[in-house]
Amino acid sequence: MRLKPSDELQEKGIHAVICCFSDGIDQMKRADQHDMVKVLKVLHKCKRFSVFEATDNSTIASTMNKLDGPYFERTGGSYPWLTVELTREGLLLIGEPVPDLPPSNVVEARFGATKV
């Protein structure tokens, strides 16, 4: 849908661009933003998020803090966007196929996992 600017705004040279940041974590219900598996599935699908989405409320901010590092890694992007890939542990948590990689040391150190 294209909006028609008013004559007054057009005369002043004022223009606005309206957009949606993503179809990702900002579209989730608050209860779902607390669920690490549901958030990881969205991140796996979208492969990116904005810092605005990740800090929109204390629920998603807390979940993203728990997931960042052990379950997904930042792979790039430029402000406000961050691109991400799920780690081996993140893929395992959401039931996705996992490449043949050793477990990350971050998860072992954080959760006391031991190698068998």
pLDDT, tens digit, 9 for 90 and up, residues 55-93: 999 999 999 999 999 999 999 999 999 999 999 999 999
Give the Å distances, CA to CA, from 37 to 24, 66, 93, 103: 14, 12, 7, 18
CATH of domain 29-111: 1.10.10
Closest CA relative to residue 90, chosen from 33, 27, 38: 38
Number of C-beta neighbours around residue 44 at 10 A: 16
Q: What predicted TM-score, i.e. pTM, was given to this entire model?
A: 0.70
Q: What is the mean pLDDT of residues 2-7?
A: 57
- pLDDT at site 7: 67
- Mean pLDDT, rounded, of the chain: 82
Strands (E), the chain: 48-50, 72-76, 81-86
The confidence score (pLDDT) of residue 9 equals 64
Q: How far apart are CA 51 and CA 61, in angstroms?
A: 10
**What are the pLDDT digits (tens) for 84-116?**
999 999 999 999 998 876 665 544 444 444 444
